[in-house]
Structure 1
Amino acid sequence: MASSGQILERCERLIRDGQRLMLGIAGTPGVGKSYFTEWLSTQFPGGATIVPFDGFHLSNELLAAKGLAQVKGHIDTFDLPGFRSLLQRLRSQDEDVVYAPKYVRDIEESVGSAVEIPRDAQVLIVEGNYLLADHPDLARSRECLDEVWYLETDDETRVKRLIQRHIQFGKSAQAARDWVMNSDEANAAFIRSTRHRADYVVAYSESLLDTGNEESTTSA
């Protein structure tokens, strides 16, 4: 059993003076990656920059043209070479500043050059569903990361959270449930199959982030 403090101790052990830390956070849709990542980013002295894999969603127009609109969120609906290239640039630190895209849920589209990452940014947290997938571009992306953690929670909570998210952004209750059970859950099954590649597995709930509360974390 490990507390939030012990998770932060693991982060501290990863930090090397003068060296950039690139930490990956992976997990299934709705597990709480964004919430956890936002919290974690505030725990480092000087903060951390969040680099979202979701920024590499193909545009809705392109997905429609490719016949992929109904499976948006599947691994094939992302620009994987673009993501790999970004992480390699961030790892090399050869540029004064690198700009990364991010996904804006209000418009359900990616926005380019939305995240500014200066050369002196010492802690980057890379968040995304497929960071541990066995895909050539993602394997090369993984080489750029110091560790990748896998977040998991109980499926009932996760599915409810996903349905509410889809309703919040415009779907009817039935359409939201249909999307989650058909599209999101198919992706979740694939992502769970990558769990064994994680450096660290975190059994996540929001209470984990409350000082003193205990939740289980295990090394992979």
Structure 2
Amino acid sequence: MNADRLTALALGFLGGPGSNARTILGLAGPPAAGKSTLARYLVAEIERAAGPGSAAYVPLDGFHLSAAQLDRLDLTHRKGAPATFDAHGYVALLRRIAADRFQDIYVPDFDRTLDEPVAARHVVRPQTRLVITEGNYLASTDTPWPDARRLLRELWYVDTDDALREERLLRRHRDGGRDEATARRWVTGNDHPNGEYVKAGRSLCTRTVPGIGLPETPNGGSVL
């Protein structure tokens, strides 16, 4: 399934002429599968076809706990694991997105240069008809992830070869300042178990789609 086919599927969620309904599409998958790259690509293509503001991007990564909170919880060494996200805050935002059609809704992101979450990088406008949200754990069966899944029209599992994901993860960690040995330890000790946890939810997704071959984007838009 290529990028054009995925775009056509996403455009189908906009409804017929004159429709003002809002749909939320989710993308799940292990670290470095390409979720954020696919989500941003689909948003851009939908806005190209249906006009500015017709689609919006909502990354789970905006709900990473800050370094200060990770230190407080003694979770710095597990950054990226399920417990290192404000999952309930993410679900609350999805509920507001589903219900509030009158206000701009500001959405946080994760800045890889700062290595911290940042507020209000994205926005869901009142006219937004398709919201694409992505994150590792949207297919998890642990609380509160099923509450998020019930708000989604569909949940796609982004499938990418493990060797390619590892290559991307190592590059990400090196770019973030880790040396080769430290980067490999982080992939083995943290990213790999997180990825295996994510894979367990694959059967709960609506469909499996490939991680399409798109270039990485800077900052919070690197392949996730």
Same fold (TM over 0.5): yes
Distance in 2 of aligned mates of 1:136 and 1:75: 10
Verify: 1:152 aligned to 2:151, yes or no.
Answer: no
Describe how 1:49-198 pairs up with structure 2 within 5 A: 49-198=56-205
State the 1:101 CA deviation.
1.1
State the 1:96 CA deviation.
1.1
- Asked if the contact 2:66–2:117 (Cα under 8 Å) also holds between the matched residues in 1, the reply is yes
Distance in 2 of aligned mates of 1:95 and 1:84: 19
Q: 2:7: which partner in 1?
A: 8
Distance in 2 of aligned mates of 1:94 and 1:161: 38
Verify: 1:46 aligned to 2:51, yes or no.
Answer: yes
Superposition misfits of 4+ residues, deviation over 4 angstroms: none
Give secondary structure in 2 for the equivalent of 1:42.
helix
The verdict on how the C-alpha distance between 1:6 and 1:205 changes in structure 2, with shifts beyond 3 A counting, is closer
Q: 2:210: which partner in 1?
A: 203
Give secondary structure in 2 for the equivalent of 1:43.
helix
Q: 1:24: which partner in 2?
A: 26
Which amino acid counterpart does residue 202 of structure 2 have in structure 1? R
State how many pairs are aligned: 206
Which amino acid counterpart does residue 187 of structure 2 have in structure 1? V
State the 1:95 CA deviation.
4.2
Give secondary structure in 2 for the equivalent of 1:54.
helix
Using the size of structure 2 for normalisation, the TM-score is: 0.87
User: What root-mean-square deviation, in Å, do the aligned CA atoms of Structure 1 and Structure 2 show?
Assistant: 1.4
Q: Percent identity?
A: 31
Distance in 2 of aligned mates of 1:205 and 1:15: 22
Distance in 1 of aligned mates of 2:34 and 2:111: 17
State the 1:184 CA deviation.
0.4
State the 1:203 CA deviation.
2.4
Give secondary structure in 1 for the equivalent of 2:144.
helix
Q: 1:114-141 CA deviation, whole Å, 9 max, x = no partner?
A: 3222221112110111111112321111
Which protein is richer in strand relative to its size?
1
State the 1:94 CA deviation.
4.7
